[in-house]
Amino acid sequence: MKKTFVFFTCLCFSTSYLSFAQYPKTIDSLTVFLKTEKQDTVYVQALSEFTFQKIQHGKYATADSGITALEALSKKLNYGTGFYRAMNSRGFLAYSKQNYDVALDYFLKCAEIIDTYKLPKRTYQNALNNISIAYGANGDREKATKYAMDLIDFQEKNKLKPLKSSPYDRIANNLQHYKKYDEALVYYKKALQIEIDNNNKIYIAIAENSIGNIYELMKKPDEAIACFLRGLKSAEEADYTLLQTDFLTNLGRLYFAKNEFGKAEAYLKKSEKLIKELEANQSLKIVYQNLGDLYAKQHKNELAEKYYLEALALAKESKDIYMFYSINENLSVFYADTRQYEKAYEYKLASETAKDSTFKLETAKNTEELQTKYETKQKEQEIALLNEKNANASLQNKGITFGSVLLLLLAGVFTILILNRNKLKRLQEAEKLCNRIASDLHDEIGSTLSSILLISGMAKNQHIIQTNEGSNRMFSKIHSDSQHVMESVDEIIWSVNPVHDSLQGILLRLREYALPLAESKNISFDFKVDEDIENLALPMEIRRNLYLIIKEAINNLIKYSEASKANVHFVKDKKDISVTVEDNGKGFDTLASTTRNGLKNMKLRAAEMGAKIDILSNPQSGSLIKLSFSIT
């Protein structure tokens, strides 16, 4: 079942240093107070508390109106604390609606207001806390940790009490990320103890949730359930609805794992009801998927299908590629189990497409981390070199002999640094190559192999293979997919083989690809190549992208143009190369929207090789694609 995580890690709303202000605390008393009392700074604080409680209860429209009034009154009174509270309320509202990037912008503006109006240190403590949490919710672990450490330093330096527990949460979260669960548990328990000392029910609940998650990862479900039940009780005592839904969902998931389906359904249905009232779709799609899993396990197929499809719709709406993959995979298994093989195949293909996208996201993330490490290494080398030069300057006064020795030493260090830098660069290039090959193999082959696997399984379930037209179609599909895999592997290997680094290799391969296809469509196809261009050597990256762009152009021409004549022309003008692919077919509208990725991929590959690509066409007037680039 899908897991849900609580992001409400100790957000700070109120500014406790103003506790001397005399205003009521319950929502009913606040409503009366705001209708009858004078609009002064105490009124601003009461209005701030009113909006906070409305956000807690999911009354977002009322809270938004209250914040607008808070802003107007603060402006009228020129009240810095009021400006801060209004901006902080905006951030808290956005966070509660799970718009974490918007919330982060508001919290950062809070820090600017604090600086402008010279607000108390405890207010800045709250701001650092919220900024750290918002960065964490946005997935920026590095900045979240930086602000958490700043907060620890700021609290200790200024001896602020009570302490904020969020820095300990952040450290624990990092340890959890690296699967150091025992160490993470120590820091989460420190955070819990801080909140118990503060008697803050909301933050006690959040700490219990974090500890429960760790116990679950440690395969200790009973301990996790105990934490979630205590956390749910604290969230109910704090009357914090959205927080309650997280505990309800977690409990439903764990009872499902224990095969206690009655309890699981009760908790999940209660969570669904509350989340719908709050309109928190990020949480709702997780509950829907969990309910789909629950009903599928119990063979309540209509309910399972209903919840899976509703979860999928929400994943599409929020563009959550990870959830989109997970739910499509679940639907594929569900339809296969219920012998609806065509639907199983459809959702399997959708899940593989999403899986490709998640793989690319992870690859990009890993590449970025490698680049950061490489740049850090470069900076360390530059600092080391600068230090050595400074040492040389300070010691020159001690004599020519000593200076000469030092210069020789520096020359040796410089040589070592250069060698290390070159070695690092070669390693980086090799790693980049490996990543690209892995990506290509994954993109080209992964989904196709999955398709073959699923269709084969479906074919095995057919009762009469020789006379069943559907089975014949499936085996035809297996044959074509297998052929596609063989061709893809051949192309990937060819593109990275240095033996094929001349343009002649590209021309031969394109001719072998294009001419049989053109002949099958009765297209008169002509290749024109300028003299001396065939022996031109090209770097691997340019060679690969050039081949794939022209191949895609030829493929589109053969499939869609309905042309009778076409040509490919390679032209060299000094250091400039241009390649044109032209036909006299029916053409197309270059501005029209399309679901195909061919033209978009051609433009992306052109950008990768530093080339310019022009795509010219109009309906009924043929097409021309021109690729231009320079060589060194």
The percent of residues in the chain predicted with pLDDT above 70, rounded, is 73
Host H or E run for residue 118? none
470 pLDDT more than 80 = no
Arithmetic mean of pLDDT, 452-456: 55
The answer to whether residue 295 sits within a structural domain is: no
Question: Are 504 and 462 in a shared domain?
Answer: no
Arithmetic mean of pLDDT, 443-448: 52
Cα distance between residue 631 and residue 578, in whole Å:
11
582 pLDDT more than 60 = yes
The percent of residues in the chain predicted with pLDDT above 90, rounded, is 41
Q: What share of the chain is helix, strand, coil (3-state, %, to 5)?
A: 75, 5, 20
What's the pLDDT score for residue 283? 87
Cα distance between residue 41 and residue 46, in whole Å:
9
Domain enclosing residue 550, as ranges = 497-630
Q: How confident is the model at residue 214 (pLDDT cuts 50, 70, 90)?
A: very high
Question: Are 451 and 531 in a shared domain?
Answer: no
Cα distance between residue 25 and residue 50, in whole Å:
8
Structurally, the chain folds into a number of domains equal to: 3
DSSP 532-594: T-TT-B--HHHHHHHHHHHHHHHHHHHHH---SEEEEEEEEETTEEEEEEEE-S----TTS--
Question: Are 364 and 484 in a shared domain?
Answer: yes
Q: CA separation (Å) from 168 to 141, 152, 541? A: 14, 9, 46
Q: How confident is the model at residue 399 (pLDDT cuts 50, 70, 90)?
A: low
Q: How confident is the model at residue 422 (pLDDT cuts 50, 70, 90)?
A: low
Question: Are 483 and 541 in a shared domain?
Answer: no
pLDDT digits (tens, 9 = 90+) for 585-625: 998 887 776 666 778 888 988 998 899 999 998 888 899 99
Q: How confident is the model at residue 420 (pLDDT cuts 50, 70, 90)?
A: low
Whether cis (ω within 30° of 0) applies to the bond prior to 162 is yes
The answer to whether residue 136 sits within a structural domain is: no
pLDDT digits (tens, 9 = 90+) for 487-512: 665 666 565 555 555 677 788 888 88
What's the pLDDT score for residue 173? 86
Q: Which of 75, 24, 74 is nearest to 49 (CA)?
A: 24
The answer to whether residue 544 sits within a structural domain is: yes
CATH of the domain at 43: 1.25.40
Question: Are 474 and 515 in a shared domain?
Answer: no
Arithmetic mean of pLDDT, 175-194: 91
Question: Are 507 and 471 in a shared domain?
Answer: no
Region of poorest pLDDT, from 267-271, 593-597, 627-631: 593-597
Cα distance between residue 626 and residue 606, in whole Å:
11
The answer to whether residue 294 sits within a structural domain is: no
Question: Are 366 and 481 in a shared domain?
Answer: yes
What's the N-to-C CA distance of the chain in angstroms? 55
DSSP label at residue 613: E
What's the pLDDT score for residue 592? 75
The answer to whether residue 432 sits within a structural domain is: yes
What's the pLDDT score for residue 363? 46
The answer to whether residue 31 sits within a structural domain is: yes
458 pLDDT more than 60 = no
Question: Are 408 and 526 in a shared domain?
Answer: no
464 pLDDT more than 50 = no
DSSP label at residue 23: -
The answer to whether residue 477 sits within a structural domain is: yes
Instruction: Select from 122, 154, 181 the last residue of a domain.
Output: 122
Between 423 and 79, name the one with better pLDDT.
79
Instruction: Select from 81, 106, 122 the last residue of a domain.
Output: 122
Question: Are 469 and 527 in a shared domain?
Answer: no
Question: Are 22 and 103 in a shared domain?
Answer: yes
**Over the chain, what is the mean pLDDT?**
80
403 pLDDT more than 70 = no
To which residue do tokens 């049989």 refer?
516
What's the pLDDT score for residue 57? 84
What's the pLDDT score for residue 539? 81
Instruction: Select from 92, 122, 152 the last residue of a domain.
Output: 122
Non-local (6+) Cβ contacts of 482 within 8 A are 452
What's the pLDDT score for residue 485? 61
468-487 burial string, b = 16+ CB within 10 Å, else e? eeebeebeebbeebeeebee
Give pTM, 2 decimals.
Answer: 0.49
The answer to whether residue 138 sits within a structural domain is: no
Cβ distance 602 to 562 under 8 Å? no
Between 262 and 359, name the one with better pLDDT.
262
CATH of the domain at 598: 3.30.565.10
Question: Are 465 and 587 in a shared domain?
Answer: no
What's the pLDDT score for residue 462? 52
Q: How confident is the model at residue 513 (pLDDT cuts 50, 70, 90)?
A: confident
Region of poorest pLDDT, from 172-176, 215-219, 374-378: 374-378
Cα distance between residue 209 and residue 610, in whole Å:
50
Question: Are 488 and 519 in a shared domain?
Answer: no
